[in-house]
Amino acid sequence: MRLALAPAFITIFISSIAAQSADDTVRRIRDGAAFKQATAFIQTDYERFVRELITLTEIPSPPFKEQQRARAYLELLRNEGLADVEMDPEGNVMGIRKGTGNGSLLAVVAHLDTVFPEGTNVKVKRDGTRLAAPGIGDDTRGLAVMLAVIRAMNASKFQTSSDVLFVGGVGEEGEGDLRGVKYLLHQGKYKDRIRQFIAIDGGDQSNITRAGVGSRRYRVTFKGPGGHSYGAFGLVNPAFAMGNAIASFSRTQVTSRPKTTFNVGVVGGGTSVNAIPAAVRMDVDMRSESCAELDKLNESFLAIVRNAVDEENRVRSTREGQVEADPRPIGERPCGETSLDDPIVKTTAAVVSAFGLKPSFGISSTDSNLPMSRGIPAVTIGHGGPGGRAHSPDEWTDVNQKAVVQGVQIAMTIVLAVAGLQ
């Protein structure tokens, strides 16, 4: 007699098998002699890890000006014996650790850029194992962890089925708009080979980012004829149109679940207190965990801008010309997610659990947004270092040896398990 199984039961059964398979893979890696050899190497490699972290942090890498740090990182990748080490036209630096399989590719990415502008003092201040400097945790420590993972894999002669592409990427922060990973996946030489993706970004390794917060950013310029504040009083004023748009936008209702947000972060323009401005501008940021909610908010915002312009042209004189608005996109990060049932998520969670941490699943805005939006299984993991004050001048990270060793162990084990240990 054949029993009919409910779809929900089948899904749970298959999910349970996948989780068990992930646990078995992780156990096989950790119980092997090569893992013990890698751990011993990571411990002896500790001082080099700290030196590289300090050296990289003290190479300025402001938005759109990552070249100096990129060149230094390129040489570090070359020193680790990777194949095809190069800088692509967008400024990403990368190299391949060859696998034994069919040439499918796992991309492992940490970003080179920081949020801090040119001229920022990036000298590292050290107090015991506490290191403080702008950008040291986000994401310079991720870069250092990636180098340590490569060395540990080489020292213990691990072989993976998939090729692993290690990437120091550009343009992750702010108006960089994920330009590095966009090039990697849209135009780069490996765009058709990348089948899985891991970003190393952030500290907490128990938190696994498996979904990407999407964003739309605009710089909206309002223009008009301008004029003397007294002599031309009554003419249309682009500042009034912009103010009306901001006030209307501020009253927009958005969902808390999925979380959806908006902000007017920068305003500017005009020439004098006693002149009707000929142009003013505002920078707007909109974000959502949901692609549909982000689209809805985007349409609402553009309608608000149009309505504010129409109202200004209706209530004031247009004899010298009308007010116009130009909403120009300055950033778009796609939203997306990797299913909780995807092997890359289950494998990453199994590794985190194996090291005594409790995995949790987060939603954030990282380089993983791009592959997620294209259906490429992706997660973002932390580098494992205690730290704080990210994106502030007093950003810090702690490099006590125990945390460093475990951080590299976890990242290495995730890479090995996802790439398929031979």
**Domains of the chain and any CATH numbers:** 9-212+335-419 (3.40.630.10), 214-333 (3.30.70.360)
Residue 102: predicted pLDDT: 73
Q: Are 132 and 395 in contact (CB under 8 A)?
A: yes
Reported as a single tens digit per residue, the pLDDT across 273-314 is 999 999 999 999 999 999 999 999 999 999 999 999 999 999
- The C-alpha atoms of residue 83 and residue 240 are separated, in whole angstroms, by 58
Model pTM?
Answer: 0.90
- The C-alpha atoms of residue 403 and residue 389 are separated, in whole angstroms, by 18
> Helices in 173-290 by DSSP H: which ranges?
179-186, 238-250
Token couple for 118: 């040119």
| pLDDT over 70 percentage in the chain | 95
**Taking residues 81-95, what's their average pLDDT?**
97
Residue 296: predicted pLDDT: 98
Going by C-alpha positions, the residue among 309, 335, 330 that lies closest to residue 321 is 309
Q: Does position 13 have pLDDT exceeding 60, yes or no?
A: no
Q: Does position 159 have pLDDT exceeding 90, yes or no?
A: yes
Structural element, H or E, at residue 378 = strand 378-381
Model confidence at 18, pLDDT cuts 50, 70, 90, reads: low
Q: Are 285 and 215 in contact (CB under 8 A)?
A: yes
| Residue reference for tokens 């194996």 | 354
**Neighbour tally for 154: CB within 10 Å:** 15
Model confidence at 16, pLDDT cuts 50, 70, 90, reads: very low
Q: Are 234 and 316 in contact (CB under 8 A)?
A: yes
Residue 206: predicted pLDDT: 97
Judge if the upstream peptide bond of residue 258 is cis by omega within 30 degrees of 0. Answer: yes
Reported as a single tens digit per residue, the pLDDT across 340-380 is 999 999 999 999 999 999 999 999 999 999 999 999 999 99
Q: Kindly report the backbone phi and psi dihedral angles of residue 68, in degrees, each rounded to the nearest multiple of 5, phi listed first.
A: -65, -45
Q: Does position 397 have pLDDT exceeding 80, yes or no?
A: yes
Model confidence at 104, pLDDT cuts 50, 70, 90, reads: confident
Dump the DSSP string for 394-413: T-EEE--HHHHHHHHHHHHH
Reported as a single tens digit per residue, the pLDDT across 205-232 is 999 999 999 999 999 999 999 999 999 9
Query: What's the angle, vertex CA 45, arms to CA 42 and CA 47, rounded to 5?
Result: 130
Tell me which DSSP letter residue 322 carries.
-
Reported as a single tens digit per residue, the pLDDT across 20-52 is 689 999 999 999 999 999 999 999 999 999 999
Model confidence at 1, pLDDT cuts 50, 70, 90, reads: very low
Strand partners, 94: 86, 167
- How confident is the prediction for the chain on average, in pLDDT? 94
